[in-house]
A and B are shown apart, each in its own frame.
Chain A
């Protein structure tokens, strides 16, 4: 990433943002008294915080860096990801939000593995769900952590390791001190920053490119496919992305656990409209930066980028005023950290609550204290993991998303709506999603095997996992549907 350390305005914006995160951490520390506070904010969130946390978690650093990078690299193909997310919000709300919140009302449910155990019983579904979440968290968090290091390294003019150290110190402080309470309130700050910065930056996109028509005409002269509705990645690829990112949204634990945190179930009513509206404001940033940078490179105004992920930082530094660039860099850092803090919290919950409960039948004693220790462990492990990753940020984001989608959509999103769903179906689908996703990604990375016609691995695994879940559940209930506990049945009937 380009060095921006010579701009005191940008440095000041970032320092102000980091200081705000620090103070939110101190404020949240005073409100965190139990594991329930640490993992589900004591079920105290209102409508606006829920919606902001939901959309800012989904947007993440992928939306600010990886997304524009993908547009720069392959044209309109990646637009299918950004337009899929809002229907994903709707799917999450319609099939999942009230079920999750009702379950949290009836049982002491703080995590998704808690919900899986309440729904299916037994320890295997909880254990496998916790493992799936932990694996996905490490993969996904690694990309977020790496992005934090890159951004701060560029802003402060230091190397990657020092940038990582600065960013992770702030992240560690507010995540350890305030748990998810600090996480969701920094999400709110981050959501506001993202909206303001995205709206302002679009004006400069149009200014730099000479208007949308000029940008489109330029790109069309370069390659008509690039600005066409499918981009250069192929039709099957983009359609499989659409399914993965729309249906798969209901399987993203960092977003859907927010439903457990809502104070009043009635606040679900307008939350999805608010989240969709906010997300719509952010999308021109994703589409515009990649397009205008490619157009400027084609017209000779801009030097070609050495990496697609440079599209956002170079555009900001070259074509926007320093104050706006500072705000957007803060928004970018905010987007990354808002997703990272949720993942850290999920990973800590898996280590302290879910895996021990599956093995010994209860969470660890002194759960809150151990949660803080586990938060540091997850963060440290992800930093080490990130330093050994070399692939493109955006594609790693897609990989993490696919793992979550295939493991969680069938067992939670479908399973909480369908009484015929069984423990065997749940276990089989989670297992197949972990094994298949990792195997196919590994084979593809080593150029041994690729799915034909650019079919996305995550989408393929999601469809297979869904089929296995429904098929096995159906086969194991041929003689009738097993009875459910009355509270679970009531939550599924309402």
Chain B
């Protein structure tokens, strides 16, 4: 353990996703300065999905979680596109469940993102977020100091 503590490493497993967040952040600032709101919106959604990817971590972004993150971004794009499309093209008032179609996309549609993320977090908690054996190992190695408080 001491050897690992003193070893200087050159890379972190999250470097790539952090660079992507950094790049999208800069792009978002530039887009905002020129009022390019459609690409700004798409960039905002990208930053949020990448932040979730950071939380799940690269070893766990394979398979289902990777596909889920792609689904999340596509869901955002579809909802956004629906809002923009109906807002620009609809003549007169067309209500969907009591709201104008474009507004309905926002209010009813956007919940799919947090609801599905929260559900996935619960479903993969034991397998990917905090496996039981790893919790026990951590508590055995480091779990005493905090308990003093």
Residues of A within 8 A of B (CB): 34, 36, 40, 43, 76, 79-80, 83, 86-87, 89-91, 93-96, 98, 102-110, 211-213, 215-217, 220, 224, 227-230, 235-236, 239-240, 242-243, 246-247, 250, 265-266, 268-270, 272-273, 275-277, 280, 287, 413-414, 417-420, 451-453, 455, 460, 463-464, 466-467, 470-471, 479-487, 489-491, 494
12 contacts between A and B (CB under 8 A): A94-B56, A103-B146, A105-B139, A105-B146, A212-B99, A224-B93, A228-B100, A229-B83, A250-B51, A273-B121, A483-B6, A487-B145
A158 to nearest B CB, angstroms?
Answer: 39
A236-B37, A265-B135, A417-B55 known; A220 and B148 CB under 8 Å?
A: no
Additional A-B contacts beyond A90-B121, A235-B37, A269-B122 (8; CB < 8 A): A95-B54, A213-B98, A228-B100, A243-B48, A247-B47, A269-B121, A269-B125, A470-B22
Q: Which residues of A contact B10 (CB under 8 A)?
A: 480-481
Q: Choose one: B1, B25, B37; the contact of A467 (CB below 8 Å).
A: B25
The one of A36, A272, A455, A466 in contact with B32, judged by C-beta atoms closer than 8 angstroms, is A455
Contact of A87 among B8, B12, B48, B135 (CB under 8 A): B48
Contact between B95 and A216 (Cβ–Cβ < 8 Å)? yes
Interface pair B114/A89, CB less than 8 Å apart: yes
Known A239-B37, A452-B33, A470-B21; contact A280-B146, beta-carbon cutoff 8 A: no
Q: How far is the CA of A79 from the CA of B25 in the complex (A)?
A: 23
Q: Is the CB of B22 within 8 A of A467?
A: yes
Name the A residues within 8 Å of B51 (CB-CB): 91, 94-95, 247, 250, 413
Residues in B with CB closer than 8 Å to A217 are 93, 95
**5 closest Cβ contacts across the A-B interface?**
A212-B98, A94-B55, A95-B55, A86-B114, A480-B8
Interface of B is mostly: helix
How many residues belonging to B are interface residues under a CB distance threshold of 8 Å?
Answer: 75
Are A229 and B114 within 8 A (Cβ)? no
Residue of B nearest to A284 (CB): B107
- Check if A90 sits within 8 Å of B29, measured CB to CB: no
Q: How far is the CA of A490 from the CA of B142 in the complex (A)?
A: 8
- Once the chains bind, are A418 and B32 in contact (CB under 8 Å)? no
Could you mark each residue 79-119 of chain B with 1 if its beta carbon is under 8 Å from any beta carbon of chain A, else 0? 00001000100000101011110110111001101110111
With a cutoff of 8 Å between Cβ atoms, the chain A residues found around residue B15 in the complex are: 418, 420
Point out the residues of chain B lying under 8 angstroms from A235, CB to CB. 37, 41
Q: Which residues of chain A are within 8 angstroms of B119 by Cβ–Cβ distance?
A: 273
Contact of B98 among A102, A109, A211, A486 (CB under 8 A): A211
- Contact between chains at B18 and A83 (CB < 8 Å): no
Q: Contact check, A419 vs B44: say whether CB atoms are below 8 A apart.
A: no
Which of A36, A93, A236, A491 touches B121 (beta carbons < 8 Å)? A93
**A240 to B36 Cα, complex, angstroms:** 12
In the complex, the chain B residue whose C-beta lies closest to that of A231 is B103
A228, B104: Cα distance in complex, Å: 9
A453 CA to B36 CA, complexed, in Å:
10
Q: Which residues of the partner chain B approach A109 to less than 8 Å between Cβ atoms? A: 146, 149
Partner of B146, one of A96, A106, A243: A106
What 1/0 flags go to B1-34 for Cβ under 8 Å of A? 1101111111110110011011001101100110
> Within the complex, what minimum Cβ distance (angstroms) separates B50 from chain A?
10
B66 within 8 A of A: no
Q: B129 interface residue, CB < 8 Å from A?
A: yes
The distance in angstroms between the C-alpha atoms of A31 and B51, with both chains bound, is 38
B117 is contacted by which of A90, A105, A490 (Cβ under 8 Å)? A90
B123 to chain A: closest CB distance in Å? Answer: 9
Give A414 to B18 CA distance when docked, in angstroms: 9
Cβ–Cβ < 8 Å partners of B125 in chain A: 268-269
CB pair A107–B146 under 8 Å, yes or no, is yes
Q: How distant is A424 from chain B, measured CB to nearest CB, in Å?
A: 16
Q: Chain B residues near A453 (CB, 8 Å)?
A: 32, 35, 37
Find out whether the CB atom of A236 lies under 8 angstroms from the CB atom of B40: yes
Q: Report whether B129 and A483 are in contact in the complex, using a CB–CB cutoff of 8 Å.
A: no
- Give the distance to chain A from B62, nearest Cβ to Cβ, in Å: 16
| Shortest Cβ distance from B93 into A: residue | A220
Residue from A230, A276, A413, A463 within 8 A of B115 (CB atoms): A276
Partner pick for A83 among B87, B111, B122, B141, CB 8 A cutoff: B111
Bound Cα distance A215, B103 (Å):
13
Residues of A close to B121: CB separation below 8 A: 90, 93-94, 269, 272-273
B35: chain A residues within 8 A (beta carbon) = 236, 452-453
User: Are B105 and A104 interface neighbours, CB within 8 A?
Assistant: no
| Contact residues in B for A103 (Cβ distance below 8 Å) | 146
CB distance from A133 to the nearest CB of B (A): 20
CB distance from A352 to the nearest CB of B (A): 15
The chain B residue sitting closest to A485, CB to CB, is B5
Given the interface pairs A265-B135, A417-B55, A420-B18, the reply to whether A228 lies near B111 with Cβ below 8 Å is no
Which residues of B have CB within 8 Å of A466? 21-22, 25
Asked if B141 contacts A247 (CB within 8 A), the reply is no
Give chain B residues whose Cβ lies under 8 Å from the Cβ of A490.
138, 141-142
- Nearest neighbor of A242 in chain B, beta-carbon distance: B44
Does B52 touch A at the CB level, under 8 Å?
yes
Complexed CA–CA distance, A294 and B18 (Å): 44
- Beyond A470-B22, A481-B8, A486-B5, is A98–B149 a contact (Cβ under 8 Å)? no
A90 engages B118 (CB within 8 Å): yes
- Chain B contacts for A277, CB-based, 8 A: 118
Verify A229–B105 contact, CB threshold 8 A: yes
